[in-house]
Amino acid sequence: VYTSAAVLGLTDVDALTLSMARDVARTLSLETAARAIAIGILANTLLKAVLAAVFGRAAYRQLVVSVLIVAATVTTALIAWG
């Protein structure tokens, strides 16, 4: 579940969220679904940081990558803590 959440999160967090909500109603625990969504969000955030670093101009790159790295760090801490 977590690996597919990371892969799907790279492109579409909305689809991941809907999929997890549907699976909670069937077989998946709420904790597992929440963690999978957080992992998808983390993957999406890291992808956006990489894209900003590669394609952004200097000022944009510095600002966006810094903010996204902080967001990714906080998300990682929350995943580990939860």
**Residue 25: band (very low, low, confident or very high) from pLDDT cuts 50, 70, 90:** confident
What number is the average pLDDT over the span 33-53?
Answer: 96
Q: Per-residue pLDDT tens for 58-75?
A: 999 999 999 999 999 999
Q: Residue 82: pLDDT above 80?
A: no
**Residue 42: band (very low, low, confident or very high) from pLDDT cuts 50, 70, 90:** very high
State the pTM of this model: 0.89
Report the candidate in 82, 67, 9 with the shortest Cα–Cα distance to residue 39: 9
Give burial (CB, 10 Å; 0-12/13-18/19+) of 30. Answer: exposed
Q: Please give the mean pLDDT across all residues of the chain.
A: 95
